[in-house]
């Protein structure tokens, strides 16, 4: 996970239709607040044609460099990906296995700052409706509540610096200083799932080779120097925000590709 710089330019479809939809949901909630809070009543629908509009998705793809905001996989060549709600719109779970709490963060369903591009596995298999808080009693239950009073456990890469919470030993993620937020994020997003770890391992080995090539002793051998220049280009690109698994490679470079 790396920092996501969300543009202040809210996509027009969210600013217009999204605002209308939000007002409709809020007024429906106000008419039947007790029923919504007890779970007796639910919202009929959230319009994916609005929050998942092509223009929204394209802006997310551009700002996140086509990578999943949770696992940093570049998946756009094989999957469409999801427009994921950081605070889940339809219901919430404090912990895996909990009954779905209602209502969800319905007033944020069309909120630009609540939307991220995610791969389907992170969103649909792992994070789903999980939104654990340090202080579950302070959970915002409607648009009248203050979400700023919440202390979310899952790292929000648009607000937090993910590197303060999650780092890597080679391809394995760990919570920095054993932080609860790091652990919760790794678990909720499945950043340590086997297939993803395996994919990162292969990539780590390639970049390690580039790193070693860059750090070969100086030589008069032109072939070696050519390879070094080529390896330096690969290494330099691998730490950019545009690169897949940049957070892992940044940690590896800092550790000089030794396991610390």
Q: Which stretch binds Zn ion (CB under 5 A): 5-13, 45-53, 80-88, 122-130?
A: 122-130
CB closer to Zn ion, 119 vs 249:
119
Position 119 contacts Zn ion (CB under 5 A): yes
CB closer to Zn ion, 22 vs 250:
250
CB of 107 to Zn ion, least distance (A): 26
Q: How far apart are the first and last CA of the chain?
A: 20
Q: Which stretch binds Zn ion (CB under 5 A): 33-41, 115-123, 139-147, 156-164?
A: 115-123
Position 133 contacts Zn ion (CB under 5 A): no
CB closer to Zn ion, 74 vs 213:
74
When binding is defined by CB under 5 A, the residue of 14, 122, 154, 231 that contacts Zn ion is 122
Position 10 contacts Zn ion (CB under 5 A): no
Q: Which stretch binds Zn ion (CB under 5 A): 10-18, 89-97, 117-125, 157-165?
A: 117-125
Position 68 contacts Zn ion (CB under 5 A): yes
What letters, b where the CB count within 10 A reaches 16 and e where it falls short, cover 45-84?
ebeeebbbbeebbebbeebbbbbbbbbbbbbeeeeebbbb
CB closer to Zn ion, 119 vs 130:
119
CB of 123 to Zn ion, least distance (A): 7
Position 186 contacts Zn ion (CB under 5 A): no
Beta bridge partners of 46: none
Q: How many positions of this chain bind Zn ion (CB under 5 A)? A: 5
CB of 118 to Zn ion, least distance (A): 6
CB of 129 to Zn ion, least distance (A): 16
Q: Which stretch binds Zn ion (CB under 5 A): 30-38, 111-119, 146-154, 249-257?
A: 111-119
List contacts with Zn ion (CB under 5 A).
Answer: 68, 70-71, 119, 122
């Amino acid at each position: 996970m790396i920092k996501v710089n969300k543009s202040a330019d809210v996509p027009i479809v969210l600013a217009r239709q999204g605002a209308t939809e939000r007002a409709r949901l809020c007024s429906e909630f106000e008419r039947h607040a007790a029923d919504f809070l007890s779970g007796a009543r639910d919202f009929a629908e959230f319009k994916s044609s609005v929050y998942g509009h092509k223009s929204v998705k394209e802006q997310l793809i551009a700002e996140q460099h086509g990578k999943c905001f949770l696992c940093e996989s570049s998946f756009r060549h094989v999957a469409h990906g999801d427009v994921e709600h950081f605070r889940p719109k339809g219901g919430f779970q404090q912990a895996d296995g909990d009954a779905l709490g209602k209502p969800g963060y319905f007033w944020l369903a069309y909120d630009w700052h609540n939307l991220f591009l995610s791969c389907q596995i992170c969103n649909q298999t792992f994070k789903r409706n999980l939104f654990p808080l340090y202080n579950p009693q302070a959970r915002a239950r409607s648009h009248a509540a203050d979400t700023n009073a919440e202390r979310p456990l899952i790292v929000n890469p648009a607000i937090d610096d993910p590197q303060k919470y999650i780092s890597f030993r080679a391809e394995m993620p760990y919570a920095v200083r054993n932080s609860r937020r790091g652990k919760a994020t790794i678990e909720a997003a499945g950043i340590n799932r086997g297939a993803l770890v395996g994919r990162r391992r292969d990539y780590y080995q390639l970049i390690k080779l580039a790193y070693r090539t860059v750090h070969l002793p100086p030589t008069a051998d032109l072939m070696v120097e050519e390879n070094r220049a080529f390896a330096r280009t690969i290494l330099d690109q691998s730490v950019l925000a545009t690169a897949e698994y940049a957070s892992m490679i940044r940690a590896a470079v800092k550790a000089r590709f030794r396991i610390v």
